Amino acid sequence: MLTLYSFGPGANSLKPMATLYEKGLEFKQHFIDPSKFEQHSDWFKAINPRGQVPALQHEGKIITESTVICEYLEDVFPDQNPLRPADPYQRAQMRVWTKWVDEYFCWCVSTIGWAFGIKKIAQAMTDDEFEAHLKNVPIPEQPVKWRRARNGFPQEILDEEIRKGGVSVQRLEGTLSKQDYLLETGFSLADICNFAIANGMQREGGFFPEQVNEKATPGLIAWIDRINARPAIQKMFAEAKREEILKHTEKETAA
């Protein structure tokens, strides 16, 4: 039995979720509600002491870290629609891409997400509720981010992250202007992990529309459309539970 503890199908939560759908594996989605701070509740910290989603439960064990979970699913179920290339060189290229997402690309998009999406959650609390909440956050560096989400990020940080977003988008376009997927060998975890972060950047009214559009990045736009059209991905978006509070933001940015 596989249970995925996650937010809705976006960002790091999307990575193992899309991997499970693409591999056609049965699993239970246990939705963690960020507007209720369930990820920092005692019951969830008993599952992942770092208070972070996603987390996968399998045969009584817990696997954490989104990229690690994706590789775990390949290690345990290698024959069900393999998402890692068999060739070691191509597999290394896949890991260069997934590592780059975790060390660089995800941060620019995530900071914008904190500045505008998480802001709504942070501002929906009274001062006392907010301070009480911060006491439950287990990662020592995270309260800084929560305070910024509530009070506003310094503009120089936002500017720098949007600049890095531009660098990231150009790196993706450099490959996707030449081929359908990030590896020559076809769809892989490299695509899933990058799509988890890139999907949404193209939306009108979002924060990267000048960087991601038909004219500036036709290869990237076509790749986002191509992945959104995959049957497993469509099934995931149709079935997965998602954040009520963030549906609003999506509607606003889509407006």
Exposed/middle/buried for residue 25 (C-beta within 10 Å: 0-12, 13-18, 19+): middle
3-state SS assignment for residue 200: coil
Token pair 């899933």: residue = 192
Nearest to 120 by CA among 35, 53, 43, 179: 35
d(CA 255, CA 249): 10
Nearer to its own copies among residue 36 and residue 163 (C-beta):
163
Nearer to its own copies among residue 69 and residue 240 (C-beta):
69
Q: Minimum distance from CB of 61 to its own copies (Å)?
A: 5
**Cβ proximity of 32 and 222 under 8 Å:** no
* By the rule CB under 8 A, 25 interacts with its own copies: no
Nearer to its own copies among residue 104 and residue 124 (C-beta):
104
* By the rule CB under 8 A, 215 interacts with its own copies: no
Pick from 42, 135, 140, 210 the residue near its own copies by CB under 8 A.
140
Pick from 124, 132, 167, 254 the residue near its own copies by CB under 8 A.
167
Binding mask 71-100 vs its own copies (x if CB under 8 A, - otherwise)?
A: xx--xx-----------xx-xx--xx--x-
* By the rule CB under 8 A, 243 interacts with its own copies: no
DSSP 21: H
d(CA 155, CA 15): 30
Window contacting its own copies (CB under 8 A); options: 40-48, 64-72, 187-195, 246-254? 64-72
d(CA 202, CA 210): 9
Q: Which long-range contacts (CB under 8 A, 24 or more apart) does 122-131 make?
A: 122/146, 122/149, 122/150, 123/150, 124/35, 124/245
* By the rule CB under 8 A, 103 interacts with its own copies: yes
Nearer to its own copies among residue 58 and residue 242 (C-beta):
58
* By the rule CB under 8 A, 102 interacts with its own copies: yes
Give the interface with its own copies as residue ranges (CB under 8 A).
58, 61, 63-65, 67-69, 71-72, 75-76, 88-89, 91-92, 95-96, 99, 102-103, 140, 167
